Amino acid sequence: TPTPASTTTSTSTETPATPTPTTVSTTSTETLTPPGRPSSTPHRPPTTSATTSSVLPPTLTPISSPSIVETTGSIPSTPLEKCCVLNDTYFAPGETVYNGTHGDTCYYVNCSLSCTFEFFNWSCPSTPSPTPTPSSPTPASTPKPPTSMASSTLATTKPPGCLDFDPPREENETWWLCNCTMAICKYDNVVELVQVQCKPPPMPTCSNDLPPVRVMDPDGCCWHWECDCYCTGWGDPHYVTFDGLYYSYQGNCTYVLVEEINPTVDGFGVYIDNYHCDVNDRVSCPRTLIVRHETQEVLIKTVQMAPIKVQVQVNGQAVALPYRKYGLQVSQSGINYVVDIPELGALISYNGLSFSIRLPHHRFGNNTKGQCGTCTNNTADDCVLPSGEVVSNCEVAADQWVVNDPSKPHCPHIGVTTKPPASTPSAGSPTPRDCASPLCDLIKDSLFTQCHAVAPPQHYYDACVFDSCFVPGSGLECASLQTYATLCAQKGICIDWRNHTNGACLLTCPPHREYRACGPPEEPTCKSSEKNDSILVEGCFCPEGTMNYAPGFDACVDMCGCMGPDNVPRKFGEHFEFDCKSCVCLEGGSGISCLPKTCSQEPPQCTEEGTYPLTEVNPADTCCNITSCKCNTSLCPAMPSKCPLGFEVKSEIAPGKCCPTAAGSPLYSSKCQDCVCTNRRNSSTELNVISCTHVLCDDSCSPGFELVEAPGQCCGKCEQTHCIIKRPGREPIILKPGDIKHDPKNNCTFFSCVKIHKQLISSVSNITCPDFDPSICVPGSITLMPNGCCKKCTPRNETRIFCSAIPVTREISFAGCTNRVTMNYCSGSCGTFALYSAEAQALDHKCSCCKEERTSQREVVLHCPQGGSRSHTYTHIESCRCQDTTCELPPAPRRVPGRSRRSSPGGPRPGDA
């Protein structure tokens, strides 16, 4: 198939002379896509049929009989772009802009490869063209021009090129028309139209075990398979390169994960900052993922490990998510923070424990370098040095990808940074069988069986065992489980694994969200609907029946409405106040409409002497000010300095007034006298006579109160000195502090009174008696206990106290700490007897012991000599009961020959030595 040539076209509207159409028969051909070449869904169903086309003469000059031959075949193509514009509509090169007829003239307008409009018109045929017999199709990898009747007829006279087209075309020159159709100038204005037909290519096997993806050919007509570049790292850390090669590396510097060998994008690169995460500085963990693209540098930093907390910075400044600027997007998807560069098709994610990088092969294939290796679908060349040399050990190669980091002066620019721990345990080191955590077995367990067939688990199991052995107890095993589960979720297999780790790998969610092992990568919001995405992610999601309000808002709502400036979700029509504004949530527009709050108050008139207006914040409504009249006695008029004879100056302030009023106050001889100025005159002083009477005091007080002196007062006042215990329907009981008194009608109830901090406190107490059964008592022996409430008796056939729990106070000691505790012990008689049985002709014994019936464990605080204390638990006897036991005679004491001593004044007994 000829290669399309780039041609220059011009625009013309001239009308040519009416030519005579020539009909040429050709054959459609169908070709297979070459092996390794991808394909995609074609624009139309493939056809294999003979086609007929009329002459399409160009528009500039009259021609006699130009011909167009239309065929179908597989051809190479150049990328299509939207280059022609008409009425705000864009058209690709070769695309038909419009067509039609005018009278008996047919025409159409085409967008040329040089992004100009090509105008074609010809005389419309009035009668059907004859249909020649087609030739047989010949499938081939490169289609050949079809053989037709016209070509054999015109072979003898073969004028070069298609000179009558605008622009003129040379022989075998190609150019694109619309709908994946290519025009080829054959000879003498005969044009062959070749229509591309696609065959699905065989699906390849990707070395990184990921499924291949469909990618459109540059011509936009067919598709082909490609293996995308996918690199991941996790734990301390473990890597799987773009092509699927697994290795571990423990450097603690900043390294290149991926850069372009031949840069096609300005400043693109991904880097990892590792640090030593164990006490022995033997292993490393990722701390910061760095993504550079053009003028932006994104840092995704782990700022806290337990629980994991991540911060996103762009060009050194913290940003909120989602972030979009200059063709770069940063968002949160489940537990992952994702950097998306749509122009490149690049997706980079990080969650504090692991990272992943996904790049499209058609942009980055055979053009990557760094610790993630080369994206060639071949693991043999993944361990490459910056010089381009391929080595066999990826740990050696990874050491060479260190970059200059001013925050890590210990890291060299070139050379080995940190000696990694031995991959094979040395003598004395624990073997994987000795130190592997049970968590690692989950990867190969039935829990992940469904995923084993699509994602081999061995790399992740080996990494888990490695972390378990070199960093035991760190929880890094969870990183391998999490990374493997993430790979399974990308293949559409959901594994809810965290509940099987006995709490070792739990993920804690905020109170308003719930954990899900598999959720959508983009959570549906009120502003967007849920996308039908086969990829699943784990994370904290809004509970069932609610959704996130909008990207960037961490609020789950059950009904979409508005989000106020206070980040509180509101329903449509809801009124609320914020920042001293009256707001309402409205559907449509900006959503929230606010107006300044209206405060209504008539300013008061401060006409009273000594008062002035003061404006301050209203404590009942802090959004409004309130003006009130305040008192300032310095503004009051001066007091008179003298009073009439017989009176003294006295100022007093009436309730609700500001300024004091001066009044002549009568002079009293004492506080216990009422004196009045009479109309009688004292002849010597010429003043009125003052008459005084003694003030009468009420000396009676209610029960429980006593009369006490009131300082500054003539009469005393009644003050409570006793506790007054009121009883419904009965006389109150009055007790002085320290007294205890029984209820006159119930000896089991007593009252007490105490005085604490000059406050009288009364209490009512009831005695709880032990169980009492009068049927076991000797008649006439029932009496009251000393408390006057509980009954006791002499049990039948017993003269001693019956079996019961007796309280006793004892000292408990433990570890040098002591305390005195009241506890019970069992004591008393039980029905034990020995009686001769005539039937058995022997003694009949019955033995019963006073033993504990119910016990409980109690806790007591013991005081230690150094001043501290400690808790101690002991067994407390709650109740006792007579319980039958075996009657046994005590063993006779053994006599030692020659060492017996006399036991009676009568001297040795017979038989004694």
For residues 451 and 457, the answer to whether their CB atoms sit within 8 Å is: yes
User: Chain centroid to CA 367: how far?
Assistant: 37
| CATH annotation of 228-399 | 3.40.1000
**pLDDT at position 18:** 34
pLDDT of residue 349: 93
Nearest residue to 22 (alpha-carbon basis) of 172, 182, 120, 149: 149
Position 893 scores a pLDDT of 55
Task: Could you please state the CATH topology (level 3) that the domain comprising 509-560 is classified under.
Answer: Laminin (2.10.25)
The whole-number pLDDT of residue 323 equals 93
How are strands ordered across the β-sheet holding 67-72?
67-72, 190-195, 181-187, 174-176
Identify which has the larger pLDDT, 620 or 65. 620
Q: pLDDT: is 842 or 71 the higher one?
A: 842
| Cα 752 to the center of its chain, rounded Å | 59
Residue 134 has pLDDT above 60, yes or no: no
Q: Is the pLDDT of residue 66 over 80?
A: no
Q: What is the pLDDT of residue 894?
A: 54
Mean pLDDT on 858-867: 88
The pLDDT of residue 329: 93
Average pLDDT over residues 2-15: 35
Q: Is 428 exposed, middle or buried (0-12, 13-18, 19+ CB in 10 A)?
A: exposed
Residue 889's pLDDT is 66
Average pLDDT over residues 254-265: 92
- Indicate whether 896 pLDDT > 70: no
CB 677 within 8 A of CB 665: no
More confident residue, 336 or 8: 336
User: What pLDDT was estimated at residue 648?
Assistant: 63
Residue with tokens 């009051």: 636
Of 91 and 106, the structure prediction assigns the larger pLDDT to 91
Note the CATH number of domain 801-883: 2.10.90.10
Which of 477-491, 672-686, 760-774, 834-848 tops mean pLDDT? 477-491
CB of 838 within 8 A of CB of 823?
Answer: no
Q: pLDDT tens for residues 654-663?
A: 888 888 876 5
List the beta bridge partners of residue 354. Answer: 234
For 467, residues 6+ apart whose C-beta sits below 8 A from its C-beta are 235, 236, 283, 474, 476, 477, 479, 480
Indicate the burial class of 263 (C-beta count within 10 angstroms; 0-12, 13-18, 19 or more): exposed
Q: For 689-737, what is each residue's pLDDT tens digit?
A: 888 888 888 888 888 888 888 887 888 888 888 898 888 888 888 888 8
pLDDT of residue 910: 42
Q: Report whether 628 contacts 618 (CB < 8 A).
A: no
For the chain, the average pLDDT equals: 76
Q: Quick one: residue 511, left, alpha or beta (phi over 0 = left, psi -120 to 50 = alpha)?
A: alpha
3-state secondary structure of 837: strand
Give the residue extent of every domain in the chain: 24-195, 228-399, 430-503, 509-560, 566-594, 705-766, 801-883
Q: How far apart are CA 223 and CA 213, in angstroms?
A: 10
Query: pLDDT tens across 307-341, in order?
Result: 788 899 999 899 988 899 998 999 988 888 999 99
What confidence tier does 74 reach under pLDDT thresholds 50, 70, 90?
Answer: very low
pLDDT at position 414: 52
